């Protein structure tokens, strides 16, 4: 299990705590500190498309209209913190966010 998130993200911290309580020990990739590889970025965009971009983020609000119109893969390459989080990958299967459906998948609720 690989967990893409931010150390400073409350949702990511809650998700990691819940995953640990459920017996998971994911490899944590901090998108700000560690970055996101081109292969992972490509897979995330292929799976989620435009939905992979967090338009509620501070980073998004700081972009110009021209930057906001860029391709999602280019945006994520330039600004990894724009990625909606957390993104979790297990054996090639990807999930995004920490809503009830994702929690049920990993926590068995």
- DSSP assignment of 4-34 equals EE-TT-HHHHHHHHHHHHTT--PEEEETTTT
Pairing label, strands 27-30, 93-96: unpaired
The mean pLDDT of 28-46, rounded to a whole number, is: 95
- Which of these is catalytic: 9, 12, 53, 87? 9
Do the Cβ atoms of 36 and 62 come closer than 8 Å? no
What's the chain's average pLDDT? 94
Q: Work out the angle between the directed axes of helices 100-107 and 10-21 (0-180°, nearest 10).
A: 30
Cis peptide bond N-terminal to 109, omega within 30? no
Residues 53-78 have pLDDT tens digits of 999 989 999 999 999 999 999 999 99
The predicted pLDDT at position 108 comes to 84
For the question of residue 9 being annotated catalytic, the response is yes
pLDDT band at 52 (very low <50, low <70, confident <90, very high): very high
């Amino acid at each position: 299990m690989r967990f893409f998130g931010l150390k400073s993200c409350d949702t990511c911290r809650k998700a990691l705590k819940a995953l640990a309580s459920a017996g998971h020990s994911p490899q944590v990739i901090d998108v700000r500190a560690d970055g996101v590889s081109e292969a992972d970025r490509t897979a995330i965009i292929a799976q989620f498309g435009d939905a992979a971009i967090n338009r509620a983020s501070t980073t998004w609000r700081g972009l110009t209209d021209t930057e906001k119109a860029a391709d999602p893969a280019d945006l994520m390459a330039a600004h990894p913190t724009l990625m909606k989080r957390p993104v979790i990958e297990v054996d090639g299967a990807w999930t995004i966010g920490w809503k009830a459906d994702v929690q049920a998948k990993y926590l068995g609720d």
